[in-house]
Amino acid sequence: MTSKDNPKDRYVPLDENLATLLHAHMREFPPIEITLPWLEKDGEPVTVRLMFTTRERKALNKNYFNSLWKAALEAIGAIKAANDKPTGKGRRWEPCRDKMMHALRHLFASEAINEGVDVYTLADLLGHEDPSFTLRRYVHRVTGAVNKARKAIGKRYRLAA
């Protein structure tokens, strides 16, 4: 769902269990307030509360975060290193744009559809005006979908009989 103040802001509804985990994280690592230019490099400063920070309690730098993310992808065998340097000391990885953070939006979309979220609600959650765009660009085939459709059709047929 989008904010009326800024249509680029996103709000994701959380279930009680996930909200509990997030509150526990916030008790252990209280959010910090930070004021930075918003939307563009020299834009109007905006103060926000950050729930995820560096160990020094500062805003995460995208380059630092990306190196941690790529090291994690390497650790699980999803990508390979392109050199032998240690992480944070010039280590490089094979191209992996399709596995970076934006890929989580695609995963979220596919999982939401798999769990029964209708495409109109999903489009709203992702900030898309056109649900057909959401289907074309974000939703991917889900393993077992044909079997799930078979069961749904069988259930409806049994209810009608």
Examine the pLDDT at 78 and tell me if it is beyond 90.
yes
User: Which tokens belong to 34?
Assistant: 């930070």
Examine the pLDDT at 128 and tell me if it is beyond 80.
yes
Percentage of residues in the chain having pLDDT higher than 70: 94
CA-CA distances (angstroms) from residue 157 to 83, 145, 151? 58, 18, 10
Reported as a pLDDT band with limits 50, 70 and 90, residue 104 is: confident
Average pLDDT over residues 99-110: 87
Domain chopping of the chain, boundaries:
1-60
How many CB atoms are closer than 10 A to CB 81? 14
Average pLDDT over residues 76-82: 94
Examine the pLDDT at 3 and tell me if it is beyond 60.
no
Reported as a pLDDT band with limits 50, 70 and 90, residue 142 is: confident
Average pLDDT over residues 17-26: 94
Examine the pLDDT at 161 and tell me if it is beyond 70.
no
Examine the pLDDT at 46 and tell me if it is beyond 60.
yes
Looking at residue 59, what is its pLDDT?
85
pTM: 0.69
Query: Could you tell me which residue, 104 or 145, shows the higher pLDDT?
Result: 104
Average pLDDT over residues 58-71: 87
Reported as a pLDDT band with limits 50, 70 and 90, residue 79 is: very high
Examine the pLDDT at 39 and tell me if it is beyond 70.
yes
